[in-house]
Amino acid sequence: MIHPMHPSGGFQSRWNTLVRSLLVESSVKHVAMSAALYANFEDGESCFPGISHLERDTGYTDKTVRRALQVLRGMDMARLVRRGVPHKGRSDEYTLQIPDGWTGLPLQGPKGLPFTCAFCLKDFNPKGHSLVKPVEGPRGYQTSWYLDKFIFCTRAGKKAPSCRALWDRDRGRRGEPAWRELVSSVKWEMFYAARGEDWAEEYR
């Protein structure tokens, strides 16, 4: 697998590696892959996907496609260059890019290994999700995640306490902070520990 920032890798290959590794909804991945087909193959610039084209390509609704683009903008993977003029048939123009802080996104490891639950230590495959909200600034949106969903597995049975709840219980008994009291940097450290592998090496 090519490293997303490997200098010898073409943009499309690096983009596809990053998109495939993201722990986000399948709709966001599908829209990202489809949008890249409308961009310059070498650098991801001059991307004129058009909402209607992406609807036809992916089979998703207008609302789902627009939200996916907002998520990508919130991760700094899609930069809006110029607003389109719909009544003149002009689509929005984007530049697709591998953001400088791509390693800080919630990614699977380069080998796609299962995550390890921070409480029960069982292997599991976390489900992708994202939260997006409008913000001031050039991006226009901010994307975030519930990191605990990537760190603790979902235990079987509706009445069974979750691994996060059991983790909080044990922490409380020891007088240690619960999950909601942890600072962001500690939560990300737990995410990397649950993933167990990183992108420090350049994989081909």
Mean pLDDT across the chain: 91
Q: What is the pLDDT of residues 95-129, one digit of tens each?
A: 999 999 999 999 999 999 999 999 999 999 999 99
Q: Which residue matches tokens 């909601």?
A: 180
Q: What is the pLDDT of residues 129-166, one digit of tens each?
A: 999 999 999 899 999 999 999 999 987 656 778 999 99
Number of CB atoms found within 10 A of residue 67's CB:
19
